[in-house]
């Protein structure tokens, strides 16, 4: 097995990591995914091996998720019971995912884990990002209401009664659901989190479309899940020596500021805006990882070797696209926040209140 290599830190790298953490924190607080689908590629782009990026992201995730969960719980958006239950099931998936990553690294080295993480990103981000973005755009254009009834699939799952497994959750307005349906969702979320440091963009849509949790509560409850499984995953990876505490602390420092800003933003926007931002960022990050796939395949000898110029161009495209995802995500969240605050002020001014009374 290759020796574990941590990236060298200098002033530029530290500043970049802090800014990346801040934007990732905003994304996390706004859409409830933990923001790692932005942070993991960013750390890889700065030179961290994929397995170190994943492990360090899990280490920074759980304290940040705790801050975001507490913040959003004050607005009544968190289903604590559902978050803890899914989080406990997610721990089993985290352990399995960690075993997958260490096995790949033992056989193919750091490049193998880089390829695996990038490939999974492309597949999962493509599927989930397309679904969420399409749903958000439809809601925005009025094809269906954002406060629509329980999705058809979720209604079907809620209609099934399995004795001894039913449990009620606040976010489902008292409708019971079987733990046999909650368990695989939690396990899948944990396994994905441990292999690419991202579970939220599976956990959030799963709660929305399979269980029937409203988008606002799903994004908030996912922060509880992220806290539970992030704490366990950090311990599992730290035992193997893959956690770079320096990266985790720098990103955490930026994230703790950003996550609160993102959480505040959710109180001023409609649910379709959350879906739109989530889907948009996912698809842009997908392109970033897609550009790197030929480079990794070439390094492993699984395709004809690429010239130095070609590798440099693909790497530059990957960096540029990732930067675009960070900038676009921050701009979309801040724009939604400021517009929402302005609209809220207009509705709550004395003149507007008097007009409403008249």
Contact 122, 198 (CB under 8 A): no
Global confidence as pTM: 0.78
- State pLDDT tens for residues 164-206: 899 999 888 878 899 999 999 999 999 988 888 777 767 888 8
d(CA 15, CA 37): 20
The answer as to whether 184 is a domain residue is yes
Any residues with CB less than 8 A from the CB of 260 and at least 6 apart, and which?
25, 29, 67, 68, 71
d(CA 235, CA 255): 20
Quote the domain boundaries for residue 341: 11-348
- pLDDT band per the 50, 70, 90 thresholds, residue 272: confident
* Residue 217 reports pLDDT greater than 80: yes
The answer as to whether 354 is a domain residue is no
Contact 305, 57 (CB under 8 A): no
Q: What is the 3-state secondary structure (H, E, C) of 170-196?
A: HHHCCCEEEHHHHHHHHHHHHHHHHHH
The answer as to whether 353 is a domain residue is no
The answer as to whether 79 is a domain residue is yes
**What mean pLDDT is reported for the chain?**
83
Most confident of 33-37, 218-222, 329-333, 334-338: 218-222
d(CA 329, CA 38): 10
Helix axes 179-196 and 80-140, enclosed angle (nearest 10): 80
What is the structure's pLDDT at 354? 58
d(CA 288, CA 324): 9
Rounded to a whole number, what is the distance in angstroms from the first to the last CA of the chain? 75
Q: What percent of the chain has pLDDT over 90?
A: 31
The answer as to whether 290 is a domain residue is yes
* Residue 238 reports pLDDT greater than 50: yes
Mean pLDDT for 100-129 is 90
The answer as to whether 98 is a domain residue is yes
- pLDDT band per the 50, 70, 90 thresholds, residue 150: low
The answer as to whether 77 is a domain residue is yes
d(CA 51, CA 44): 9
Contact 17, 254 (CB under 8 A): yes
- State pLDDT tens for residues 58-93: 888 788 778 778 888 888 889 999 999 999 999 999
- State pLDDT tens for residues 24-39: 878 777 765 556 778 8
* Residue 104 reports pLDDT greater than 90: yes
The tokens 């800003």 sit on which residue? 261
d(CA 56, CA 280): 25
Contact 217, 171 (CB under 8 A): yes
- State pLDDT tens for residues 124-147: 888 878 887 887 777 666 654 444
- State pLDDT tens for residues 239-262: 888 999 999 899 888 887 887 777
The answer as to whether 73 is a domain residue is yes
Contact 108, 44 (CB under 8 A): no
Give me the torsion for CA of 254, 260, 264, 266, rounded to 10°: 70
What is the structure's pLDDT at 88? 93
Q: How many domains does the chain divide into?
A: 1
């Amino acid at each position: 097995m290759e020796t574990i290599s941590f990236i060298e830190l200098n002033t530029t790298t530290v500043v970049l990591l802090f800014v990346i953490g801040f934007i990732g924190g905003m994304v996390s607080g706004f859409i409830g995914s933990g923001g790692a689908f932005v942070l993991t590629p960013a750390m890889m782009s700065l030179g961290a091996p994929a397995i170190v990026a994943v492990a360090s992201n899990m280490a920074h995730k759980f304290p940040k998720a705790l801050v975001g969960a507490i913040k959003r719980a004050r607005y009544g958006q968190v289903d604590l019971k559902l978050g803890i239950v899914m989080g406990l099931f997610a721990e089993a998936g985290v352990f399995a995912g960690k075993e997958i990553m260490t096995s790949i690294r033992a056989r193919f080295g750091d490049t193998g884990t880089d390829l695996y993480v990038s490939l999974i990103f492309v597949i999962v981000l493509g599927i989930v990002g397309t679904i969420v973005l399409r749903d958000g755009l439809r809601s925005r254009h009025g094809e269906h209401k954002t406060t629509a009834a329980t999705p058809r699939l979720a209604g079907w799952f809620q209609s099934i009664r399995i004795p001894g497994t039913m449990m009620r959750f606040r976010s489902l307005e008292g409708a019971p659901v079987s733990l046999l349906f909650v368990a695989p969702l939690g396990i899948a979320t944990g396994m994905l989190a441990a292999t690419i440091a991202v579970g939220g963009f599976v956990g959030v849509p799963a709660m929305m479309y399979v269980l029937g949790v409203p988008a606002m509560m799903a994004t908030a409850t996912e922060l509880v899940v992220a806290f539970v499984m992030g704490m366990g995953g950090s311990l599992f990876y730290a035992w193997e020596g893959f956690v770079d505490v320096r990266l985790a602390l720098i990103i955490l420092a930026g994230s703790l500021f950003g996550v609160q800003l993102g959480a505040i933003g959710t109180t001023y926007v409609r649910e379709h805006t959350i879906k739109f931002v989530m889907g948009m960022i996912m698809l842009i990050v997908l392109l970033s990882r897609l550009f790197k796939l030929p480079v990794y395949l070439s390094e492993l000898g699984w395709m004809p070797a690429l010239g130095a110029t070609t590798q440099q161009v693909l790497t530059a495209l990957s960096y540029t696209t990732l930067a675009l995802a960070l900038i676009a995500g921050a701009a979309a969240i801040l724009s939604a926040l400021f517009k929402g605050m302005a609209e809220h002020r207009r509705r709550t001014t004395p003149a507007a209140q008097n007009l409403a009374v008249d």
